[in-house]
Amino acid sequence: MANFGKHSMSKNMSEHNAITPADFEELFLIWNRKIYYYALSKTNSTYIAEETVQRVFIKLWHNLHHNEVNIKIEAQLFCIAKSVLLDIIKEERRRESDTLNNDYPAIHHQTPLEVYRVKELEQQLDDIINKMPIARGTIFRMSRFENLSYKEIAQQLSISPKTVENHIGLALQTLKRAFYNFLLQITIIFIFF
């Protein structure tokens, strides 16, 4: 007879001391609701709780066939449940993040006029940057379009971070003067594109 926590298995084990499907079914009947309510209390999601129960007992089945049966099942069940629950929560967060990223273009439809304005502003921005001194334009592009830090730009161009900061400041002043009426629109472009 195998000891499963406070419960004993009434079915006989096979001659190799392995758990039988009938033993496992009894184990499932004893513990599945407890695992379910444990997961439900942590997530308030019946889907995640049900998924947790399924995965816990699949892992337990594999573990019982690789370990001795006379182990404290309750401790193993809840250890597995905690691990499985964390995995499921991570998967759900990843899935939600992917869904949000995929849905954003569908949610944010631009009108043809908005598309035209964005392209026009991008062209004006490009023209203004091209009129800047070469070093300033290059540094500005590296900062805003390549998302490099001041330190990274300084290392790549063999200049000090303070020089990078000064060039960015001057470039932004030039852009503010050139785009005084469109400053809000440019800010939106830099934030969302």
**92-146 confidence digits (pLDDT tens):** 888 877 766 665 554 456 677 777 777 887 888 888 899 999 999 999 999 888 8
pLDDT digits (tens, 9 = 90+) for 8-64: 443 334 444 567 888 889 989 999 999 999 999 988 889 889 999 999 999 888 877
Q: What is the DSSP string of 98-134?
A: HHHHHHHHHH-PPPHHHHHHHHHHHHHHHHHHHHS-H
Q: Is pLDDT above 70 for 188?
A: no
> Domain 112-192 class?
mainly alpha
Note the pLDDT tens digit of each residue in 143-172: 888 888 899 999 999 999 999 999 999 998
pLDDT at 184: 59
Residues 6+ apart with CB under 8 A from 155: none
Q: Does domain 3-106 have CATH number 1.10.1740?
A: yes
Q: What pLDDT score was predicted for residue 16?
A: 47
- Average pLDDT of span 73-84: 86
Residue-level pLDDT at 107: 47
User: Domain coordinates of the chain in residue numbers?
Assistant: 3-106, 112-192
Spatial contact of 150 and 163, defined as CB atoms under 8 Å apart? no
Say whether pLDDT at 175 is over 70: yes
